[in-house]
Amino acid sequence: MAETPDRQANQRDLEEGIQRDFSQSMSYGDYLRLDVLLAAQQPRSEPQQHDELLFIIQHQTSELWLKLMIHELRSARALLRTDDLAPALKRLARVKHIQHTLTDQWSVLATLTPSEYAEIRPFLATSSGFQSAQYREVEFLLGNKNADMVKVHAHDGDARTVLEELLHEPSLYDELLAHLSRQGYAVPQRLLERDWSRPHTSDPELVDLFAQVYASPAEHWGVYETCEELVDVEDAFQQWRFRHLQVVQRVIGHKTGTGGSSGVDFLRRALDLTFFPELYEVRTRIGE
């Protein structure tokens, strides 16, 4: 007859050096302020609906990742301003990983069926992801400037101030063009002295400049690599937009959004927006 296995064998004993007493020391929960973080999920449904916690956590974690993305984009922009290209590219590499995480998160929310969402939607009232100030910060940093978007945050003085400042500051792409100009590239002067509150529009001379870079990558490797990093960022951003659209269509169909937008049709129009138009237009020229 087989022996009964020792129940204690499947147990890892604590090593002597492991900290046990946190009465006078900082713990993991203290450092991360988990008491505050984990108390921030406050469902509003009555009676409480099981799936509302998913909806809240999905959007709260997205806001945390957006906060980190803003931190990295601001740093990348500042590094370009001082011509520190290598660390700026390191920041953008991290941004891309954040973007992929945000896109993957939609798969969790996609488990919410239309019937389940219908149980919690009335409790959202007029709140909507469209109203995310941090998402707007990311768009402004990347160059999608729109003064009307600032008006959505008129009720929030801090958010409005941040967006107003970003609206009138050079975007990441603007700082790249200024960097290229300082490195001796023939960036049109009108692009260096323009109204920063307006979105950048395609410039044929800039397409010519990038065509020269892509024609001889080895001679312009730093610029070439930076261009491809920006295309990666925009491509990841578009994947996030498209996945968002898919999940919204799957969950609510063509209903009007809680914030008053047309919903899916409004999201679909965002797919036509581009941050770095010349970096896509130049592809038609490559190899001609």
More confident residue, 97 or 265: 97
User: Once rounded to an integer, what is the mean pLDDT over residues 111-140?
Assistant: 94
42 inside domain: no
Residue 244 labelled as part of a binding site? yes
> Is there a binding annotation on residue 58?
yes
**CB of 171 closer than 8 Å to CB of 200:** yes
Domain, as residue range, for 267: 50-285
Using 50, 70 and 90 to split pLDDT, how confident is the model at 4?
low
Tell me: the pLDDT tens digits for 190-220?
Answer: 999 999 999 999 999 999 999 999 999 999 9
pLDDT digits (tens, 9 = 90+) for 64-92: 999 999 999 999 999 999 999 999 999 99
Query: Hey, is 109 helix, strand or coil?
Result: helix
Q: What pLDDT, on the 0 to 100 scale, is given for residue 142?
A: 98
For the chain, the average pLDDT equals 94
Residue 162 lies in a domain: yes
Mean pLDDT of 121-149: 94
Q: Is the pLDDT of residue 3 over 80?
A: no
Residue 120 in this model has a pLDDT that exceeds 80: yes
| Helices 52-81 & 172-182 angle (0-180, nearest 10) | 20
CATH, residue 182: 1.20.58.480
pLDDT at 1 > cutoff 60? no
Q: Record the tokens describing residue 197, joined without a space.
A: 């509150």
| pLDDT number for residue 13 | 87
- pLDDT-derived band at 97 (thresholds 50, 70, 90) equals very high
According to the annotation, is 201 in a ligand binding site?
no
The residue-averaged pLDDT of 7-14 equals 78
- Region 247-257: mean pLDDT is 89
Residue 271 has φ and ψ, to the nearest 5°, of -70, -15
Q: Between these two residues, 18 and 35, which has the higher pLDDT value?
A: 35
Q: Is residue 3 part of a domain?
A: no
Whether residue 224 is annotated as binding a ligand: the answer is: no
Any domain includes 182: yes
Q: Residue 99: its pLDDT value, please?
A: 98
Phi/psi at 225 (5° precision): -65, -40
In-domain check, residue 1: no
Domain count, the chain: 1
Largest interatomic CA distance in the chain = 88
Question: What was the pLDDT predicted at 137?
Answer: 97
Query: Residue 51: what pLDDT?
Result: 96
Specify the long-range contacts of residues 115-120, CB closer than 8 Å, at least 24 apart: 116/49, 116/50, 116/51, 117/51, 117/55, 117/251, 117/252, 119/45, 119/49, 119/51, 120/45, 120/49, 120/51, 120/52, 120/55
- pLDDT value of residue 7: 59
Band (pLDDT 50/70/90 cuts) for residue 258 is: confident
237 or 271, which is more confident? Answer: 237
For residue 13, being part of any structural domain is answered with no
Q: For residue 264, which of 277, 280, 284, 247 has the smallest C-alpha distance?
A: 247
- pLDDT value for 257: 82
d(CA 43, CA 49): 8
Q: Judge contact between 203 and 191, C-beta under 8 A.
A: yes
Give the pLDDT of residue 67: 98
Rounded CA-CA distance 87/64 in Å is: 23
Has 153 been labeled as part of a binding site? no
The answer to whether position 224 is within a domain reads yes
Instruction: Using the predicted structure, report yes or no on whether residue 9 has a pLDDT greater than 80.
Output: no
276 is in an annotated binding site: no
> Are the beta carbons of 105 and 58 closer than 8 angstroms?
yes
Q: Hey, how many other C-beta atoms are within 10 angstroms of the C-beta on 119?
A: 16
- Is 140 annotated in a binding site? The answer is no
CB 257 within 8 A of CB 124: no
56 marked among binding-site residues: yes
| SS percent in the chain: helix, strand, coil, step 5 | 65, 0, 35
For the chain, give the percent of residues with pLDDT over 90: 84
Q: Name the pTM for this structure.
A: 0.93
Q: Is residue 275 part of a domain?
A: yes
> What count of other Cβ atoms lies within 10 Å of the Cβ of residue 102?
20
Q: Per the annotation, does 254 bind a ligand?
A: no
